[in-house]
Amino acid sequence: MPKRKSWNVPIVKFGKNGDFFVNFSGKKIYLGREEKEARKNYIQFLRTLDEAETSSPAAQNGKRKHVQVQELILDCLRKYESHPKYQKIKRAMQALRKLYGKAEADEFGRVKFQAVRKSLVEEQLAGSYVNELMRFVIWCFELGVENEKIPEGIPAALRAVRPLKRGEAKVNPPRMNARDEDILKALPFFSKTIREMVVIQRLSGMRPSELFRLRPCDIEKDGEVWIYTPQKAKSDRFGKKRFVGLGKVEQNILAERIRNVRNDEPVFQPIHAVMERYGKRKLDGRSVRQLRKMYTKDSYRRAVKRGLERAEKQGVKIQYWMPYQLRHSAATELSIQLGREAAGVMLGHASTDVTAGYDHSDREKVRRLVAERDVTAGTGLVKWEGQ
């Protein structure tokens, strides 16, 4: 029996017909239409591939006595399939399997670890992102120790490799907040659905995923401020509930929206934006089937980008911004008004150290202080106009 070529972890794609699928050995393998079903079938697909290898004559004759790295990878993907950072974990496993999927797991050391990291750096990925992916590689081997498949000293040896320092890989510019004037200029060029999503995210500081999952049944409407408790939140794994406050503007938007959806459905759906665009005209049935029940970070980003492009074509001078910057804008405003600790509570951060990465209030405070200095100064260099 010919030896099968080593394979990379196939990437799940979303087809035009509304199905999830993977390409493998020149064939398109369909995983289903619903995301939960597709993820389950994807894990089963990987398991089938692994079993095909381990059931080969060489394996059955006892020639394969040691655990291979790819077995640890499959264990890792199964273990963390519901983890909020699953996509990043899968990305790390792809890089690991590409180089050392067939290698013996107990022979994986610091040199091979650094080789995987080098391959990621050569893909022009940011150093901070590469460091994060390599932490997931360590997780993979820690799980191998937990399952008694490899010696316990391997993860400790991998942790001894120092992370990439600034300058050793690509450095992405820091994420900045979106200016309110640019947001206001863009609003008329969005559909009503996207426009209201942008306003709510900017005011509340929600994560995009929290906005997408917003359902009527998750909102407490008692009192002057409504409280939204996301069904799934980043803090769930720490046993901490996430609470999002919704003020008057958000309430006015949602009051109409929640009357038009079921109690357990997302308030904002792609079909709403399409209906707003086409009105009562009959939509193509296939197009409707393609639309998902819930926005994703990519579909939301594309909708915002298209609106900004329309604004630019109309001659509107606008600085481009992306949805993730709205949370930064909310953090900056809240820090200026209420302080960094209060902003952290509003944003759902575990500590103010996390909030500091979103908070650009120091920059804004400096601008205000210098402007105030220029206005109130009497004489001296502040009033100097040159010669």
In this structure, the answer to whether residues 351 and 301 fall within a common structural domain is: yes
- Mean pLDDT calculated for residue range 282-295: 62
Domain membership of residue 222 (yes or no) is yes
Residue 44's pLDDT is: 78
Domain membership of residue 174 (yes or no) is no
Question: What distance in Å separates the CA atoms of residue 30 and residue 42, rounded to the nearest whole number?
Answer: 9
Residue 54's pLDDT is: 52
- Mean pLDDT calculated for residue range 48-62: 54
3-state secondary structure of 228: strand
- pLDDT, one tens digit per residue, over 358-385 is 555 555 555 565 566 456 655 444 444 4
- Mean pLDDT calculated for residue range 143-169: 90
Domain membership of residue 357 (yes or no) is yes
Residue 380's pLDDT is: 46
3-state SS of 89-124 is HHHHHHHHHHHHCCCEHHHCCHHHHHHHHHHHHCCC
Domain membership of residue 214 (yes or no) is yes
Domain membership of residue 131 (yes or no) is yes
pLDDT at 139 over 90: yes
In this structure, the answer to whether residues 153 and 188 fall within a common structural domain is: no
Question: What distance in Å separates the CA atoms of residue 5 and residue 70, rounded to the nearest whole number?
Answer: 13
In this structure, the answer to whether residues 336 and 237 fall within a common structural domain is: yes
- pLDDT, one tens digit per residue, over 184-205 is 999 999 999 999 999 999 988 8
Cβ count near 276 (within 10 Å): 14
Domain membership of residue 24 (yes or no) is yes
Residue 266 contacts by C-beta under 8 Å, 6 or more apart in sequence? 212, 213, 214, 215, 293, 294, 295
Under a CB-based contact definition with an 8 Å cutoff, are residues 237 and 359 in contact? no
Residue 109 contacts by C-beta under 8 Å, 6 or more apart in sequence? 154, 157, 158
Q: Cα 16 to chain center, whole Å?
A: 23
235 against 241, higher pLDDT? 241
**Token pair listed for 56:** 């080969």
Q: How confident is the model at residue 8 (pLDDT cuts 50, 70, 90)?
A: low
Mean pLDDT in the chain?
80
For the chain, what is the domain count?
Answer: 2
349 against 115, higher pLDDT? 115
Domain membership of residue 386 (yes or no) is no
Domain membership of residue 239 (yes or no) is yes
Which domain range does residue 260 map to? Answer: 180-369
- pLDDT, one tens digit per residue, over 66-117 is 799 999 999 999 999 888 889 999 999 999 999 999 999 999 999 999 999 9
170 against 253, higher pLDDT? 253
In this structure, the answer to whether residues 35 and 109 fall within a common structural domain is: yes
In this structure, the answer to whether residues 149 and 219 fall within a common structural domain is: no
Residue 239's pLDDT is: 60
Nearest of 104, 98, 145 to residue 123 by alpha carbon: 98
In this structure, the answer to whether residues 202 and 320 fall within a common structural domain is: yes
In this structure, the answer to whether residues 130 and 242 fall within a common structural domain is: no
Question: What distance in Å separates the CA atoms of residue 94 and residue 46, rounded to the nearest whole number?
Answer: 12
- pLDDT, one tens digit per residue, over 121-135 is 999 999 999 999 999
Q: HSE of 112 in the Cβ direction (CA atoms, 13 Å)?
A: 22
Question: What distance in Å separates the CA atoms of residue 66 and residue 59, rounded to the nearest whole number?
Answer: 10
